[in-house]
Amino acid sequence: MANNTPKNPDDSARQILMRGLLDENPALRQMLGLCPTLAVTTAVTNGLGMGLATTFVLVCSEVVVSLLRKVIPSTVRIPAFITVIASFVTLVMMLVEAYLPALNDALGIYLPLIVVNCIVLGRAEMFASKHTPGQAALDGLGMGAGFTASLVLMSAIRELLGAGTLVGVRIMPPFVEPMLIMVTPAGGFAVLGALIALVTWLQHRKKDAPLAGIPGPSTSLCAACPLDCGIGDPTYEDCAKVQLYERLESAVKRSEIAAGKPKGRES
């Protein structure tokens, strides 16, 4: 039986695992799961707990969806995906309530709302249902790690500036007044916007990075070039290309003259 799962040669294990950290970060690049991102990031422990819980649900649900991708009818795939996700969210809720009651109280309603988190449902629909279980596990782990990193970073900034502590330990000196706005929704939006701008800048810098390694006009690249184009800038898209066309045209004309053809022959 033929395998209809689309294969992308660029989807190596490392690429699948790493792209959730920056290139496709769920919160800072795809703008998914912003409700818990803004609501629970007032303390590092809350952000870390929510991130780890979401990562667990992501990995487990993607693996199960990938295993059942050829069994689940396309007409009921979304209800089936939600059922799978809800099963693992229920398991997480029971574990957190039993062993981490303080974290359960802090996360509140946002823990069961992982069921309808766009990150989890979106990855199940867009990736897990089209790839192997191994790739699905890597995707869930990468996306979960990126989401957890964004939550922990936001939590650290808001807790440090809003309460002067990190993980409950006093960091700021006593004479520094906490910025109470940081533990309010306004502070959450401000920190989120700053992090989105930072990640966008890093992404653009990453895309432009190869240009930085191109040698300048005084290096061996231009010195070794057989075409004396006079531009001397290999970053210019027409460097040497225009001169190459002109020299080829000149060589053709010289060969025509040598063969006895008229110099001004019309093309």
Q: DSSP of 94-132, one letter per residue? A: HHHHHH-HHHHHHHGGGTGGGGG-HHHHHHHHHTGGGS-
Regarding whether 239 and 172 lie in a shared domain, the answer is no
The answer to whether residue 264 is domain-embedded is no
pLDDT, mean over the chain: 83
Residue 67 pLDDT exceeds 60: yes
Regarding whether 137 and 52 lie in a shared domain, the answer is yes
Residue 217 pLDDT exceeds 50: no
Q: Report the DSSP beta bridge partners of residue 170.
A: 165
Regarding whether 247 and 116 lie in a shared domain, the answer is no
Give 97-151 pLDDT, tens digit per residue. 999 999 999 999 999 999 999 999 999 999 999 999 999 999 999 999 999 999 9
Regarding whether 201 and 146 lie in a shared domain, the answer is yes
- What backbone phi and psi angles, to 5 degrees, belong to 134? -65, -45
Regarding whether 102 and 45 lie in a shared domain, the answer is yes
The answer to whether residue 3 is domain-embedded is no
**What range does the domain containing 40 cover?**
13-212
Regarding whether 231 and 182 lie in a shared domain, the answer is no
Regarding whether 247 and 198 lie in a shared domain, the answer is no
Q: How far apart are CA 238 and CA 240, in angstroms?
A: 6
Regarding whether 64 and 146 lie in a shared domain, the answer is yes
Whole-number pLDDT of residue 218: 42
Q: How far apart are CA 16 and CA 37, in angstroms?
A: 23
pTM of the model: 0.73
- Number of domains within the chain: 2
Regarding whether 98 and 143 lie in a shared domain, the answer is yes
Give 151-199 pLDDT, tens digit per residue. 999 999 999 999 999 988 888 888 888 899 999 999 999 999 999 999 9
Using pLDDT thresholds of 50, 70 and 90, give the confidence band for residue 3.
very low
Regarding whether 198 and 224 lie in a shared domain, the answer is no
Residue 267 pLDDT exceeds 60: no
Regarding whether 136 and 75 lie in a shared domain, the answer is yes
Using pLDDT thresholds of 50, 70 and 90, give the confidence band for residue 262.
low
Q: Give the residue-averaged pLDDT of 23-52.
A: 93
Regarding whether 224 and 207 lie in a shared domain, the answer is no
The answer to whether residue 24 is domain-embedded is yes
